[in-house]
Amino acid sequence: MYMRRVFLLKNFIVASVCMVLTGKVKAQERMTLDAAVQYALAHTNSIKIAQSGITDADLQVKERLAGGLPQVNAEVGYQFFAITPKTLIPDFISPAVYGVLVREGVKDRTGNAIAFPAGSGGFFEGSFVQRNSLTMGVTASQLVYSGSYNVAVKAAKTYRKFVEAQVAVKQTEVRNQVLDVYMPALLVTEGMKTLDNNITNLEKLLKESSAIQKAGFSEQLDVDRLELSLANLRVERENLDRQKQLIVNGLKMVIQYPLDKPLEVADDVNTLLKSEVDLNEQVDYNNHSNYKLLGMAYAMNELNVEVNQAAYLPTVAAYASLQENLTGNNFFKKDGANFLPSSVIGIKATYNIWDNREKRYKIQRAQLALEQLKLQKEDLERAIQLQNLNARIQIQTAQKRVASQQKNIALAERIYKTTQTKYKEGLGSSLEIVVAEQQLYQSQQNLRQAQYDLLVAQKSLQKALGK
């Protein structure tokens, strides 16, 4: 029973350790360049903000359309006159009742005496206004014709396409940002792999040298030189590891990856270099998101000219209203108020006769903006052409450097192996091995840098081609 418990406990411990190790492996995600780009496109806040602009543009289209659809408004108003307004009314009652008096000395322009009603000044105060007034009405209106309305709706739909182009530009920017950070991380990772191989080889050689020295066939100086060289490689490896941590943290920031989670780059330079690049492919400006965005801006400014030109046309609208007016001195008294209904149907045309050339100046400004966009378009085309030419030159230069460094590293490896063989046979010194090892490491660095430059040049050409 005791042995069985020990066996079960061992199995539990082993299973727990495996689960922990498995959890660590799963927690450390490895990303290829394409996976990092896709992750950034899905999680970057700047792209989410740009995409929300599409929703806003859709709402703007609906807003413009709603302006030309029937509009219905309801209105309720109440008035109470604390002091009712009065007016002077000619006294036509007194003459009939009291007769007419002629006042001495009061004559008209012809010299005749003016007659006034007896007991009156000729007028008396009266009011035609009820103390309470409650008005309720409904008005419906419909835009019949407006030159600006149709162009405004078209402009809103064009703006929606413009926002889509903005999203594409932002996606391109994020893609390039990921590329600019991923490549250095990849270079450092490749450098660490190379150092690990060199350290392993040098550790093996140091072990053999120590055995030879103990046997009395070499000096302690030879072992010390190898130990020093190995220590330098380990220090270099630690420096690269710290650089990698900083660069990977930058990559996490760019792709919006959790900063507290580990991340590794999964690609290698040789795999990425296998992607075919056609140096003879022609440039298509329409493949560039910035160029498309500029084209949409041009189309919007053309519509801006049309909108201002359409402002010279009249605007016609139809309307109908129904209104009930409740008036009376006392709403709460029977027969104290009366309903007075009214209704009106009409059509109204509005045309601006003179605006001190305001519309003319707006049209001129919109046309000036079009000319500016034409110049910007020409500059962008030249910039794309220059980027394309420079990328092709960089690729050709990098390809020659890679071929040259591959020959150099093959030569350095052959020298290093020959030096090791001579040292083991007692025909060489550890100093020659250290020098050969340094030359090999430098050749490896040069090849790695040349491959990196070639990869960057290839990606630059893809950018120039709008891919």
**Which tokens is 385 given?**
């052409």
Q: How confident is the model at residue 106 (pLDDT cuts 50, 70, 90)?
A: low
Average pLDDT over residues 257-278: 82
At the fourth CATH level, the homologous superfamily of domain 29-69+146-312+355-464 is: Outer membrane efflux proteins (OEP) (1.20.1600.10)
Residue 36 predicted with pLDDT over 80: yes
Q: How close are the terminal C-alpha atoms of the chain, in Å?
A: 69
Residue 138 predicted with pLDDT over 90: yes
Q: Tell me the sheet residues that pair with 452.
A: none
- Say if pTM beats, i.e. exceeds, 0.75: no
* Percent of the chain whose pLDDT exceeds 90: 18
**Which tokens is 223 given?**
């072992």
Q: Are 465 and 287 in contact (CB under 8 A)?
A: yes
Q: What is the pLDDT of residue 193?
A: 86
Task: Indicate the pairing of strand 337-350 with strand 263-265.
Answer: unpaired
Q: Burial, 28: exposed, middle or buried (Cβ in 10 Å; 0-12, 13-18, 19+)?
A: exposed
Element (H, E) at 160: helix 147-214
Read off the pLDDT of residues 431-456 as tens digits, 9 standing for 90 and up: 787 888 888 888 888 888 888 888 88
* Percent of the chain whose pLDDT exceeds 70: 84
Read off the pLDDT of residues 416-428 as tens digits, 9 standing for 90 and up: 888 888 877 777 7
Nearest residue to 57 (alpha-carbon basis) of 165, 168, 203, 200: 165
Distances (CA, A) of 96 to 108, 126, 396, 426: 22, 19, 120, 155
Task: Determine the Cα–Cα distance for residues 111 and 294; give it in Å rounded to an integer.
Answer: 87
Q: How confident is the model at residue 12 (pLDDT cuts 50, 70, 90)?
A: very low
Residue 19 predicted with pLDDT over 70: no
Residue 8 predicted with pLDDT over 50: no
| Mean pLDDT estimate for the chain | 81
Q: What is the pLDDT of residue 115?
A: 58
Task: Determine the Cα–Cα distance for residues 254 and 249; give it in Å rounded to an integer.
Answer: 9
Radius of gyration (C-alpha) of the chain in whole angstroms = 46
Least confident of 97-106, 185-194, 264-273, 395-404: 97-106
Q: Which amino acid is at 149?
A: Y
Read off the pLDDT of residues 107-126 as tens digits, 9 standing for 90 and up: 656 766 655 555 445 666 77
Structural domain spans, the chain: 29-69+146-312+355-464, 86-126
Nearest residue to 222 (alpha-carbon basis) of 424, 414, 413: 424
Average pLDDT over residues 239-252: 92
Q: What is the pLDDT of residue 458?
A: 86
Q: How confident is the model at residue 1 (pLDDT cuts 50, 70, 90)?
A: very low
Read off the pLDDT of residues 367-418 as tens digits, 9 standing for 90 and up: 998 999 999 999 999 999 998 899 889 888 988 998 998 899 889 888 888 8
Neighbours of 131 (CB within 10 A): 17
Read off the pLDDT of residues 294-340 as tens digits, 9 standing for 90 and up: 988 898 888 888 888 888 888 899 989 999 888 877 766 666 667 78
Q: Which range has the top average pLDDT, 110-114, 154-158, 204-208, 277-281?
A: 154-158
Q: Where are any strands of DSSP class E within 329-377? A: 337-350
List CB contacts of 196: < 8 A, sequence separation 6 or more.
Answer: 237
- Residue that wins the pLDDT comparison between 158 and 14: 158
Q: Are 252 and 259 in contact (CB under 8 A)?
A: yes
Q: What is the pLDDT of residue 10?
A: 42
Read off the pLDDT of residues 56-98 as tens digits, 9 standing for 90 and up: 999 888 888 888 889 999 999 988 888 888 877 776 655 555 4
